[in-house]
């Protein structure tokens, strides 16, 4: 039976599409490292996608070499206890850490975010009490499920969303594909005008992500007042 949040969210947005059922080997392997609430979701639906493959769920084993490239010898993050459970159409990795629960890696912008290690600080209105962050992995795993089509969007240099325009220009993604910038944004600057529709190609996700993971030092960052602040380098 699905945990209530997963069940309610799927009632709202529908089940993932084009799903591949978990094999017995995948079930046995992943159940050792992922929360049971998320495993129940994978057992029910397998590895599928949401919103025309804007987000694709994946086998973490395939992405472990990419995590090794990103992390290096980092004290907090290791490919041995961190797992990519999904990726966006442009290169954001949705991950689970056995030590630090949900975190994400933006391969385009060389950015790692963690609500545990670098939480966003909200200014609460008078009378509102700050809620303590849960320590239950089955609750924390709720953030591994996408809930809104607007999430995981990519924006061009003018701040315009790109996903639907990429579909119109380059076609819908197949399983294990992504949209990539050529040249990569990390090689020309994060604010480069290269961040535009004409710079996009449809490519194999794993191959492209492995290249992006080697283009520079990643940084743990915190979101404050709509801006990212660097906490420390990764590695």
Question: In terms of residue numbers, what domain contains 199?
Answer: 4-8+21-117+137-233
Q: Estimate to the nearest angstrom the gap between the alpha carbon of 11 and the chain centroid.
A: 22
Asked if 102 and 143 touch (Cβ cutoff 8 Å), the reply is yes
How far is residue 226 from each of residues 16, 127, 223, 229, measured CA to CA in Å? 30, 24, 6, 10
Is residue 16 domain-resident? no
Q: How far apart, in whole angstroms, are the C-alpha atoms of residue 36 and residue 55?
A: 21
Q: What is the pLDDT of residue 127?
A: 63
Residue 123 lies in a domain: no
The residue-averaged pLDDT of 80-93 equals: 99
Query: By the 8 A CB rule, do 47 and 57 touch?
Result: yes
- Alpha-carbon distance 161 to 182, whole Å? 18
Residue 123: is its pLDDT beyond 90? Answer: no
Confidence at 152, pLDDT banded by 50, 70, 90 = very high
Q: What is the mean pLDDT of the chain?
A: 95
Q: Give me the pLDDT at residue 155, please.
A: 97
- Beta strand residue intervals within the chain, DSSP E: 17-20, 47-50, 55-57, 82-88, 92-97, 101-106, 111-114, 177-181, 200-204, 219-224, 227-233
Q: How far apart are CA 44 and CA 49, in angstroms?
A: 14
- Percentage of the chain modeled with pLDDT above 70: 95
Asked if residue 225 has pLDDT above 60, the reply is yes
Q: Is residue 128 part of a domain?
A: no
Residue 53 near residue 146 (C-beta atoms within 8 A): no
Cβ count within 10 A of residue 25: 10
On whether residue 126 sits in a domain, the answer given is no
Residue 161 in domain? yes
Give the SS3 label for residue 61: helix
DSSP 119: P
Lowest-pLDDT choice from 18-27, 47-56, 159-168, 222-231: 222-231
What pLDDT score was predicted for residue 43?
98
How many structural domains does the chain have? 1
**15 in a domain, yes or no?**
no
Q: Please say if the pLDDT value at position 74 is more than 70.
A: yes
Residue 122 has pLDDT above 90, yes or no: no
Cα angle, residue 65 at apex, residues 63 and 68 outer, rounded to 5°: 115
- Determine the angle formed by the axes of helices 4-13 and 36-45, rounding to 10 degrees: 40
Within a domain: 127: no
pLDDT at 170: 98
């Amino acid at each position: 039976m699905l945990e209530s949040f997963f069940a309610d969210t799927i009632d709202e947005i529908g089940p993932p599409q084009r799903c591949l059922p978990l094999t017995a080997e995948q079930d046995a392997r992943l159940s050792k490292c992922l929360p049971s609430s998320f495993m129940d979701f994978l057992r029910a639906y397998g590895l599928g996608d949401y919103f025309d493959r804007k987000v694709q769920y994946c086998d973490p084993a395939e992405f472990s070499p990419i995590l090794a490239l990103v992390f290096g010898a980092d004290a907090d993050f290791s490919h041995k206890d961190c797992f990519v459970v999904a990726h966006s159409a442009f290169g954001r990795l949705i991950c689970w850490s056995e030590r630090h629960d949900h975190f994400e890696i933006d391969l385009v912008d060389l950015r790692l975010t963690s609500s545990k290690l670098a939480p966003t600080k909200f200014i609460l209105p008078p009378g509102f009490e700050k809620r303590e962050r849960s320590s239950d992995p089955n609750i924390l795993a709720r953030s591994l499920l996408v809930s809104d089509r607007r999430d995981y969007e990519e924006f061009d240099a003018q701040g315009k969303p790109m996903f639907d325009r990429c579909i119109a220009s380059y076609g819908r993604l197949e399983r294990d594909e992504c949209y990539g910038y050529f040249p990569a944004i990390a090689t020309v600057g994060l604010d480069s005008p290269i961040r535009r529709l004409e710079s996009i190609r449809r490519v194999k996700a794993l191959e492209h992500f492995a290249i992006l993971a080697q283009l520079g030092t990643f940084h743990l960052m915190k979101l404050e007042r709509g801006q990212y602040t660097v906490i420390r380098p990764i590695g």
